[in-house]
Structure 1
Amino acid sequence: MSSLIIAIVETGNAEPLMQKAKQAGSTGGTILSGRGTASSSLLCLLGLGDSHKEILMTLVEDETMDAVWQTLCTATQVRGVLAKTGAYRPKNASSSSPKGTYELINIICPAGYADDLMAAARKAGAGGGTIIEGRGTANADDLLFFGSSLVSEKEVLLILVQTEQVPAVLSAISALPVLQAEGSGIAFTFSIQEVTKLGK
């Protein structure tokens, strides 16, 4: 069995964090680029509140999970958030947060709409989120242009919330017009086993 560790940190910090994870027993991971969302609508409007982020994802076997998790938790020079999910059940009862009380909401939407979705989620009680740029996968009926499929640009919005906030946040975002058309986007969640802040 294994668990997925996710770290959302400032740009330039994911690689050093991955090196620490490897030293503790992780075999590797993936680093994605994203941006944090502004903390207020005024900052968002002025374009001053967003910050570049990196998302580190590493799959860790149960045998090395405790060592990797503790190593990443003590990386005080890195600021961000650290979460893990999967089949792992820690043996140590002490934790920085109660287990099973957080969920990660994942929203895939057309490019340019993630900020609107985040604004609705914030009104429903969410704190902040991270936006990742992406693209849709090509289908057989996608438009061909010079022999290449043109696929739509996408954004992935990640929002870490307490479990009791999930229904309100999902209800708020699903009511937005951008998600009303068929195939326009999808939202799903998965439970987070443990959460801790980095850079204490």
Structure 2
Amino acid sequence: MSELYLMATISDRNQSRRFLAFYKEYGISVTFLTLGRGTAASEVLDAFGLEASEKAVQFAVVTAAEWKKVKKGLEQEIKIDIPGTGIAFVTPLSSIGGKRQLRFLTEDRGFEKEEESSLKGTDYELLVVIANQGYTDVIMDAARKANATGGTVIHAKGTGMEKAEKFLGVSLAQEKEMIFMVTKTKDKNGIMQSIMKEAGIGSKAGAIVFSLPVTETAGMRLIEKNEDD
């Protein structure tokens, strides 16, 4: 896959609708919203005249060309460079589990699938699974059958879900769970296929899965040692 990115935006919760409206102007309405909390030290907050705040984290898939335009708009319209406004960044995607999921996440904005990401030769990948709420066990059972170890789950809300029926042929619930799993690159395809087979589009879980390259890890040594043994 070429020039396709996962875009993350972190802002105060009271600014989340502003960012959603901004992205919609750029044709990006399928996003996933979760909540967090700022952890800046009090002296940093005091220096900028800020208060500790609850955060909103938004995820969306964008092309390289879209990110270039969005970044310019964030700087000029949202004034994102002003401290306290927020931050946005992108990470290259390496693969998405199926053509329909690709069309849904890009909202059929004309992206053509090419070869996989130029960031090759990585030993690990981060699998991101987005599914209807309440199906984590089903997804993890499917993943473990293909040699996955474990995952981390966060609650999220989907926006632009009305587009699901158009691109996926099914309706999706707005309440979502996002599951993050770090896996060996050699196991990635098998895990993705297992999830799509047992919990993918068409099932009650309605899972969508994609992967991001991981350049380095810490904390995986015992797993690697057990494999070597």
Normalising by structure 1, what TM-score?
Answer: 0.43
Q: Looking at both structures, which has the greater relative contact order when contacts are Cα pairs under 8 Å and sequence separation is at least 6? A: 1
> More helix per residue: 1 or 2?
2
